[in-house]
Every structure is written in structure tokens, then in C-alpha cells.
Amino acid sequence: MAAACAPSRVVHPVHGAVTPGTASGNNGTGVAGTLRHVLENSTLETLLASQPQPQQVRILRSHCTVDQALRTLAKHRILSAPVCVVADVAPHDRHSPTWPANRPAPHTLGFVDVRDILCSFLNDVDGLGLGEMNLLHKMRLLEEHGKMFGKTELGAMHTMGSDGAFMQCGDGKMSLLDFISRGFLASQCASTQKAKAAHGKTIHRMAIYDKDQRIRAVISQMDVVRFLASRLPQLGPLVERTVTELDLVQTKIHTCPPETSAIVAMGLMQDEDVSSLAVVDHNGKVIGNFSVSELRTVLPGQFGALALPVGEFLALENRVSIASRSNAGSRRSAQLLLMSVAT
């Protein structure tokens, strides 16, 4: 299988202050101004220190197989990890799927996550005529192809690094406002079409590396939101605003009925570039949420389960009713909240 990985995105260090535009004509005052003030006076170092436990960064090697990668992600209960290319490996280290975080990782391919792996698998089985098969035949075929796909090295996958990037942070003194503007919101804040095309898709996570090319931490949009949630008194009237007042409500919702197979739902998410679908009954009522998070524990040898209807799959994975609490919009809401500050 030929390698077809997109190069990793590197966001260059920031020199000097960032002065993003103000939201809704606030001119730096009011709700948006208060939030900017908190972010401008907080640093990456402060955010990392506020986390309950020190980060244990997991870095995957490019020669790591899909099966090894999914097992590593599931073991550590994470959805993604940076991937590095290591040319010279000691014999006793050769078969390890991970790279020590305390050692330099000068050549990175990008991030790999469960979604990237499943999208790559979808590309592999495209054209097999799955829609014309009965359920048992489809499950057997997906399981067989899943086992073969599990032996694929990450460096040979069709897709990788769809929503992660890398940034040199030095000593961690960079303000969170600079970090958000130059990192997560780089594509939204780009002033030209050329710049937007260079950044590509929305960035949801940033790997922070030091001057010695060691990855110190991985910070997600939700990490920033949790940090702000721990400082509610500093946010003043913002905490009293509703999501509607903050213009964080999404009106375009992507849905599927519970009879939709998980693999078809994954195809819909790939086509629409979303990370979740609202599962609705025949009356249009939301009865659950199907997302990439539901698939994080599925190993290649179990890909036959992707033929199951979404309703049964959710019940099987969660061991609860399909009407369980949904968090479909959490990542998108986090992104919109950050955009309201720096755009």
C-alpha cells in the first residue's frame, strides 16, 4: 500500500503580542473583552499546571501497525496521538509501537486518531458492494478485511493528521490568547485564501514541543474550555449568558435513523466532515448520538461490528439505552466559543 499521508502542520513560534479583531463590535469591552483579558493574562504553563495530573504524552511511531495504534489509544483512553518517523532504532526498541516523550522527535507525520483510521479503512473497503450483502456476509467480510488492515503501518495509511498541528512553545510563557489565535484558530483567522488553504481543516489539538524537539504536551480545545471553567469568577457576566446569546447554537444538524449501519454512518460523517451524527427516530426525535468516541475500543479484528445498525451498536458499546445522554455538540461548541474571542 502506497503512503499517502498529509505532512504534519507546524505552527511557528509567536514573537510579540497578537491583537485579534473584536467580536460583535465590542471594541475589547464587555463579554468578549473579559474573556480575551483572561486568556491574555494566562499562559500555557498555567494551563498545564492546572490539569489534575501531569500529562503522559503518547507518541506513536510510523512503523506502528493500525492494530498496535488502536490498542495503545484504547489502553490510555485517548482518541489521538502524534506520529513520528524514527530512522535509527535500537534492536531492543524496534518492535515498540510508541516513542519515549522525553526523547527528541524531529520528524513528525502528524496526528493519527480513531477517525483517521476508520476513514482509511472505509477507503479500503469502498467498492466491495457492502450495501448489497446480507448482515452476516457483511460482518464476515468486514472482519476479514479488518484483520488484514490491522497489519497496515501508520505511515502507509490513506489519511492522517486531519485536525492536529505542532507548535514550539519554548518555556511555556506564551499567552493562551496567542496560542489559540496562532494554533486552533489559524485557519479561521487567516486573512487570505492562500493562507486558509495552507492550514486546511480545523485544528482541534496542538502538540507542544520544546527547542530540543521533544513533545511536552498535547493540548485540545476542550482543555482550554476546562481551564476557563475552573476560572468562572474571572469571567464576570459571561457565565450568565446562554449559548443562544453567545451565538453558539448550530442549526445544521447531521442525522441518521437507528437502522443505519455503523459503517454507513461513518461514511456520512466522512462526507460531511463531522465527528458525530444525531440518531433520530421516524418522528424526528433525537434518541441518541453516534460519534467517533463510540468506536475507540473497536479493534481491527472486531470491525465486523461496524455492519450493525447504529441503534444496536450504541447499545452494545455503551451497555445502556440508546436514549442515553448525548454530547454531540461538545467539540463544535468549544470551537465556536474560542472563535468568538479571537475573530
- For residue 145, tell me if it sits in a domain: no
- CB burial string 60-97: b at 16+ within 10 A, e below: bbbbbbbbbbbbbbeeeebbbbbbbebeeeeeeeeeeb
Contact status, residue 211 vs residue 171, Cβ threshold 8 Å:
no
Q: What angle do CA 200, 255, 74 make, to 5 degrees?
A: 65
On whether both 218 and 80 belong to a single domain, the answer is: yes
Q: Cell for 219?
A: 493540548
For 108, other C-beta atoms within 10 Å of its C-beta total: 24
Q: Which amino acid is at 232?
A: L
State the pLDDT at residue 209. Answer: 86
On whether both 259 and 236 belong to a single domain, the answer is: no
On whether both 295 and 329 belong to a single domain, the answer is: yes
- For residue 165, tell me if it sits in a domain: yes
φ, ψ at 134 (rounded to 5°):
-75, 165
On whether both 277 and 130 belong to a single domain, the answer is: no
φ, ψ at 279 (rounded to 5°):
-90, 120
Contact status, residue 155 vs residue 19, Cβ threshold 8 Å:
no
Q: Which residues are within 8 A (CB) of 88 and not within 5 positions of it... i.e. 6 or more apart?
A: none
Full domain range(s) for residue 308:
255-341
State the pLDDT at residue 149. Answer: 95
On whether both 182 and 205 belong to a single domain, the answer is: yes
On whether both 203 and 91 belong to a single domain, the answer is: yes
On whether both 281 and 158 belong to a single domain, the answer is: no
- For residue 236, tell me if it sits in a domain: yes
On whether both 275 and 173 belong to a single domain, the answer is: no
- For residue 194, tell me if it sits in a domain: no
State the pLDDT at residue 321. Answer: 44
On whether both 79 and 182 belong to a single domain, the answer is: yes
CA distances from 117 to 106, 170, 265 (A): 23, 32, 15
* CATH code of 67's domain: 3.10.580.10
- For residue 23, tell me if it sits in a domain: no
**pLDDT one digit per residue (tens) for the chain, 343 residues:** 333 333 344 444 433 333 333 334 344 456 678 888 999 999 999 999 998 887 888 999 998 999 999 999 999 888 889 998 877 666 556 678 998 888 888 788 888 888 889 888 988 898 888 878 888 899 999 999 999 999 999 988 866 666 788 888 766 788 999 999 888 887 544 333 333 343 446 788 899 888 888 898 899 999 999 999 999 888 888 888 888 888 877 778 899 999 999 999 998 998 888 888 999 988 988 888 898 887 888 899 999 989 888 888 677 655 544 433 334 344 444 454 455 544 4
For 280, other C-beta atoms within 10 Å of its C-beta total: 16
- For residue 66, tell me if it sits in a domain: yes
- For residue 25, tell me if it sits in a domain: no
On whether both 214 and 325 belong to a single domain, the answer is: no
On whether both 175 and 235 belong to a single domain, the answer is: yes
On whether both 265 and 171 belong to a single domain, the answer is: no
- For residue 111, tell me if it sits in a domain: yes
Residues paired with 206 in a beta bridge: 165, 219
φ, ψ at 168 (rounded to 5°):
-80, 130
For 157, other C-beta atoms within 10 Å of its C-beta total: 27
State the pLDDT at residue 151. Answer: 94
Burial grade of 219 (CB within 10 A; 0-12, 13-18, 19 or more): buried
Q: Into how many domains does the chain fold? A: 2
For 334, other C-beta atoms within 10 Å of its C-beta total: 21
